[in-house]
Structure 1
Amino acid sequence: MQPVIQARELAALLGGHDAPVLLDVTVVLAPARFDGDYRPESGASLWRDAHLPGSRHVDLLTTLSDTASALHFTRPAPDRLAADLGALGIGPGSSVVVYDQGGATWAARVWWLLRGVGIDARILDGGLVRWMSLGLPVETGEPSSRVPVDVPVSALTDRGLWVDRVEVTDIVAGRAPGTLVCALAPTQFTGADATRYSRRGHIPGSRNLSAKTVVDDRGLLRSRDELVALAASALGDADEPLVVYCGGGISACLTALGFVVAGHDAVQVYDGSIEEWSADPSLPMVTTAGGDA
C-alpha cells in the first residue's frame, strides 16, 4: 500500500464500511530561541477549531510516546503501545490515516511508529491545510466516543525500523555498516542555528537531507522521481542501511518516508537522535568549522 493518501481519495472513503480510523497528531513545537529551548505544546485546541469529520486528536505528549523517558516523544514499550492503540480503537487489522496541520512531520512520525509494528497506516498528503484548500468538510468541537479494542502485545510485529545509540555508535566507529543521514535543516546540521538540545551540529560522518525538502511549498510529498533525485544527491554511493536522525526523532521519520518512496528498503530511524546523543559529552558532534562540539 502507498504510504500517502490524497484528500479526495480519503473523502470518498469517509462514512463507508471501508472508512479508516482518522488520527490528527498535531503538536506545536516553536523554533528554538536559544540553545536548549524546547517548548512542545499539544495541538488539541487546533483540532477542536477544525478537523476532519470523525477524526480524533492524539496528544503525543501523553499517548503513543514513552512518558517515563527523559527524552521527548520516544516510542513506548510494546505493552504501552498496545494499550494506547487499543484505547484508540486500533488493532492489527485496522486501516489508519494520520494527518497534522500540514507540515507532515508529526504525521510521518506516527506513520513510522505504526508501520514499525505492522499496522496499515497512511499519511494524508498535505494534511488539514490541503483538505481545507479543496473545500472538503470539517468539523469542530469535542471527539465522539470510540469503542476500545483488545490489542495483544504479541499481535504487534517488530519490523526492525528503529535503532538505538549503541548501533549508531557502531556505525560511527566503523564496526557496523550503514550511513547516517541527518534530517535537520542545513543551518542546524552545520550548527549555525540555535538548537533545542544540548549541543549544536551533527553526528560525525552524517549526510544531510532536510525533511523540509521532502515536501513542496504546499506541504505535499514530492513525486517519486523528485525524491529519487534528492536521495541520490544526498547519498551518492553510501552504504545501507540508511539510519536517519534529527533533533528528537520526529523530522527523521519524514526524511525516512522520502527514502521509502524513492525505493530504499533498508531504512531505520535513530529514535533518541540529537537529544540523546548531544546530552552525552563523551560522544562527538561536528559543527560548521569541522571541529568537535
Structure 2
Amino acid sequence: MNDALLPGPLVDDAWLAARLDDPRLVVLDATALLPSPRHDGDHRSGSGHDRWAERHIPGSRHADLTGDLSDHAAPYHFAVPAPEALAAALRRLGVHDGTEVVAYDSGGGIWAARLWWMLRSISVRAAVLDGGLEAWEAAGRPVATGETEPAPEVPGVPEAPMVNTLTPVPLPHAWATLAEVDAVRRGERPGTLVCALPTPGFDGSAPTRYSRRGHIPGSRSLPGRGLLDDAGRFLPRDELAARVGAVLDESASPVVLYCGGGISAAGAALALTLLGRADITLYDGSLEEWSADPELPLVQQG
C-alpha cells in the first residue's frame, strides 16, 4: 500500500520517536514474564502489565500475551486466539483498520516478535522496535509511568464493539498444527523443522518447562537469542545472513519454526523475514504441546 507508514518489519528508536504522535500508529508493549525453569515441568509465567506500568514508551498500551491475547481453552500456554477473537482483543487496544503497530518489550525482543507474528498472521501491518525499551532509554528517549486511558467504546453501549473495526484477514500457512509438524517429521510433507531454543534446550542438557526434554527428530538448531547482539538488537544483515546460512539454505523450504512455546520461534521468524524469506510457518504449540504426548518422539543429545 502506497501510504504505508512502516518501512518494514523492524524500526529503530529514532524512527519511532519522530512518529510517536502519529494517529495512524499504535504502540504496544508485549512484555510478559517467563522465568527460567528450576526443574523439568516448572512452567511459571505471568503478565508484564506491572512492569509496563512502571516504565513504558509514552502513549503505549500493554498487550497482555497471558490475557486476552491468548486462547485459554488451548492445552498449552500462549496459544494464539482465533482470528476474530484476536481482532477483538486488538480493537480494545486501539488497533483498527488503517492503523499500524509498533511492538516492543523489555524482555529481549522475543515478546514483541511474538506479537508481531500474531498481528502479521491476520494481515495487520506491524513492526518490532529493535532493541526494545532498553534501546529507547539508552537513546535518552522519554518514558512514562502509570496507566493509559483505554481505547473508546461506542457511547452508551457498554458491550458494543469498538467504534473502529478491525477486519482480520488470516494469512495461509502462518501457523502449523501438531499434525502438520508430525507429517514433516515423517517426511510426508515438505518442510524443514527448525528449533529456536538455546542449545541446552535443543540438546536436552538443561531443565525444561515441559514434560520431556529434547527436540523433534530431524530438527535443525537456530537459537533465537543468537540472532541478536549484546544490546538486544538484531545482528547486521551480513552477520545475520551468515548465522542463518550456516543452518538453512534456500533448499530448506518451507521453514517450520518452533521452540518451547512459540515465543523464541517468532524472533527467528522475524530474523528470516528481515533476510527476505517468506516461506515461514510457526508451530504454535511447540514443545509444550509435542512433549505432552508420550507417543511423539524427542531426541536428546546432552
1:218-248 Cα distance to aligned partner (Å, 9 max, x none): 0001122122111110125652000000000
Tell me the C-alpha RMSD between the 2 structures: 1.5
CA contact (8 A) 2:47 2:67 kept: no
Superposition TM-score, scaled by structure 2 size = 0.91
For the pair 1:121 / 2:126, whether they are aligned, the reply is yes
**In structure 2, how many angstroms separate the alpha carbons of the residues matched to 1:264 and 1:59?**
28
Residue of structure 2 equivalent to 1:202:
215
Residue type at the aligned position of 2:152: V
1:61-108 Cα distance to aligned partner (Å, 9 max, x none): 112110221210010012211211121121232111110004010000
Question: How does 1:80-229 map onto structure 2 within 5 Å?
Answer: 80-148=85-153, 149=162, 155-160=167-172, 161-229=174-242
* Shift in Å, 1:202: 0.1
Residue of structure 2 equivalent to 1:8:
14
Residue of structure 2 equivalent to 1:53:
58
CA contact (8 A) 2:152 2:163 kept: no
**In structure 1, how many angstroms separate the alpha carbons of the residues matched to 2:293 and 2:42?**
18
**In structure 2, how many angstroms separate the alpha carbons of the residues matched to 1:15 and 1:215?**
29
Residue type at the aligned position of 1:228: A
Residue type at the aligned position of 1:13: R
Question: How does 1:5-44 map onto structure 2 within 5 Å?
Answer: 5-18=11-24, 20-44=25-49
**In structure 2, how many angstroms separate the alpha carbons of the residues matched to 1:17 and 1:258?**
28
Residue of structure 2 equivalent to 1:261:
274
Tell me the secondary structure at the aligned position of residue 234 of structure 1. Answer: coil
Q: How many residues align?
A: 287
Summarize the Cα distance change of 1:288–1:85 in structure 2 as closer, same or farther, 3 Å threshold: same
* Shift in Å, 1:263: 2.0
Residue of structure 1 equivalent to 2:157:
none
CA contact (8 A) 1:21 1:90 kept: yes
1:240-270 Cα distance to aligned partner (Å, 9 max, x none): 0000000000110001111111221101100
Residue of structure 2 equivalent to 1:245:
258
Summarize the Cα distance change of 1:30–1:222 in structure 2 as closer, same or farther, 3 Å threshold: same
Residue type at the aligned position of 2:21: G
Summarize the Cα distance change of 1:84–1:17 in structure 2 as closer, same or farther, 3 Å threshold: closer
**In structure 2, how many angstroms separate the alpha carbons of the residues matched to 1:183 and 1:36?**
19
Unaligned runs of 5+ in 1: none
Tell me the secondary structure at the aligned position of residue 200 of structure 2. Answer: helix
Summarize the Cα distance change of 1:84–1:221 in structure 2 as closer, same or farther, 3 Å threshold: same
**In structure 2, how many angstroms separate the alpha carbons of the residues matched to 1:257 and 1:278?**
25
CA contact (8 A) 2:97 2:165 kept: no
Superposition TM-score, scaled by structure 1 size = 0.94
* Shift in Å, 1:144: 1.9
**In structure 2, how many angstroms separate the alpha carbons of the residues matched to 1:54 and 1:237?**
41
CA contact (8 A) 1:48 1:140 kept: yes
* Shift in Å, 1:41: 1.4
CA contact (8 A) 1:85 1:151 kept: no
1:183-227 Cα distance to aligned partner (Å, 9 max, x none): 000111000000001100000000000010111110001122122
